[in-house]
Amino acid sequence: MKSRWCLELYVDLLPETVKEQSKEKQTFITFLTTSRRALWSGFHCYDQCCSQPAEVEHPDMPRGLSCLSSPEGADGRYETPPASELHRLMWTKKGTSNHLDEVQPRIYIGDMYAAKDKRTLQAHHITHVLNAADGKFNVNTGPSYYRDTKITYHGVEAFDMPSFNLSPFFYPAANFIKNALSSPTGKVFVHCAMGLSRSSTLVLAYLMIHENMTLVDAMKAVSANRNISPNEGFLEQLRELDKKLHCQGSSRSWSANGRT
């Protein structure tokens, strides 16, 4: 029933000139279900969105599809790889493990030692610090620690445990990074305790949300410059984000083309 509802919804979204070619909606739905390409173009993805609603609080979320450089299904569409494949992708990349590494232009990932070394941060002209291990029982710096440096601070009190839900912080952290880079001289340092799991997860989420990357493309870009290792729980949360963003991007693209 859910799939049929999605089919009927997409029929309603089609141009009137197209719908008029079918005398009955039932006939048109039957035609659509026989077309594998049409199935994926819209209502299969919409069916997936129905079963797991996408984030509606960000209606203008940008998203691009990187099918040429990412895993493809049998029919050429992008599919979020299983966690085992993502682990293998990270293991095959030979990044570095310094206290601080530039993983993308003006985006740095590092550990708590670099976070507490204000001279190092100033030497790299860091203007913003995103602490993914904020709090008394983590890397307890806070905005007061950087008061004499003109560094803008944002803290996320997260714990590096698979059971910890980091996904509610994806958009606030991504927006903080985006705002930091909005200035031509802005540079952001994202850190946790070791610069492996929490910090890398937030940077990956930023690249997916604001730089139109798939999870695979984001992991390739970051792990080429630094060794990263999001824990199992964070990796699954990134996979869910990847699916939602891909579904939203596909649905909007199909709807826009159908209304032209």
Q: Measure CA 77 to chain center.
A: 18
Radius of gyration in angstroms for the set of CA atoms belonging to the chain, rounded to a whole number: 21
Query: What is the token pair recorded at 177?
Result: 């990074």
Count of beta carbons in the 10 Å neighbourhood of residue 253: 16
Euclidean distance between CA atoms 25 and 98, whole angstroms:
61
Shortest CA distance to 228 belongs to which of 93, 135, 102?
93
Q: Which amino acid is at 181?
A: L
Helices 83-92 and 215-223: crossing angle in degrees, nearest 10, is 20
192 is catalytic: yes
Active-site residue, selected from the candidate residues 6, 45, 192, 247: 192
Q: Are strands 188-191 and 100-104 parallel, antiparallel or unpaired?
A: unpaired
Shortest CA distance to 121 belongs to which of 197, 187, 195?
187
Strands (E), the chain: 100-104, 107-110, 128-131, 152-155, 188-191
Shortest CA distance to 43 belongs to which of 14, 23, 19, 16?
14
| Residues linked to residue 100 through DSSP beta bridges, in sequence order | 110
Positions annotated as catalytic residues are 192
